[in-house]
Chains A and B, each alone.
Chain A
């Protein structure tokens, strides 16, 4: 994983695991790798991984079993909600970037539609 320089690493790890949950790569009840294994895999500090996991635990996405490690919540509704969150935040980020390029809001839909049609034909 490549980290951005100016965003706290624990936030980026949190986002990364959240994305894995929302995309269903990590499923309800799955066991997470150990903290040290995650640290080595991502080349980050153990303390940083722990901090990211603490944040995700506080939000209910993961829980820990004493002596066994960390697990993905079994609350399917919460995992569905995680996915819906991305279905809102992704378009929001897209719209914001288009606006920064000077595209007016009411033109964005048409640009997107056009893009989808063009790429359809290309297939």
Chain B
């Protein structure tokens, strides 16, 4: 199988503070991966480095064999918190903006996902609940035809039914050969849908395991994950 993401000896500092140190990670095409770790472990920074948003790192990061920051952007889609849109902006205006910025943005697919999510194009951002906003973010991300999707904590602070809806949408709209990385500090709803778990701790990737391989040892993913934090509470 071909590698969608390859990271070699990645280190990253921000304001001379160590954020990531000697990260090695490789992800295959078509996999769904949970990026787990406590808050502040470096999950978001890792995603931002992969996406080419955080710069000035050391080491090599390649997506579909492209290591150049601008070149690899064409293969990946990362969730966006929409922070720079004002509350009065309508969903359709955000979509128009996306269409202008990303050549791979598929308007028809966007509308399909929006319909599945029960969202209306004329709704204003300011009128959306947290769960609805997250659904919109997922729709915008999966309307792009990428090889690597990075979802940064898509479930944090939203209700159970919205979480379930989002999980279903991932299964429906992830292209078969695309790799999906979902970060979270808990396993939650994604436990049944992931192929692999990647654990981020002490500024690095500590472990990478197949989910069913862990279960074959008669261990739940939850137990496996908690095992890394034993005696730390």
Contacts and interface: CB of A to CB of B under 8 A. Distances in A.
A55 B223 CA distance: 27
Given A5-B215, A8-B215, A10-B212, A45 B220 contact: no
23 contacts: A6-B215, A6-B220, A6-B223, A9-B211, A9-B212, A10-B212, A11-B212, A36-B171, A36-B172, A39-B171, A40-B171, A40-B172, A43-B167, A43-B192, A44-B171, A44-B193, A45-B193, A45-B194, A45-B195, A46-B176, A47-B31, A47-B32, A48-B195
Nearest to A10: B212
Interface string A38-71: 0110111111100000000000000000000000
Interface of B: 30-32, 164, 167-168, 171-172, 176, 191-195, 211-212, 215-216, 218-223
Contacts of A45: 32, 171, 192-195
**B30, B193, B220, B222 interface centre (most CB from chain A within 10 Å):** B193
Residue from B32, B167, B215 with most neighbouring chain A CB atoms (10 Å): B215
A10 B213 CA distance: 11
Nearest to A42: B192
Q: Per DSSP, are chain B's interface residues mostly helix, strand or loop, or mixed?
A: helix
A16 interface: no
A45 B191 CA distance: 10
A114 B204 CA distance: 61
Q: Which 4 A-B pairs have the closest CB atoms?
A: A5-B220, A8-B212, A8-B215, A6-B220
Given A3-B192, A6-B219, A6-B220, A48 B172 contact: no
A7 B103 CA distance: 43
A53 to B, nearest CB: 15
B215 A9 contact: yes
Contacts of A11: 212
A27 B154 CA distance: 41
B95 to A, nearest CB: 24
A44 B164 CA distance: 12
A48 B223 CA distance: 21
Nearest to B180: A45
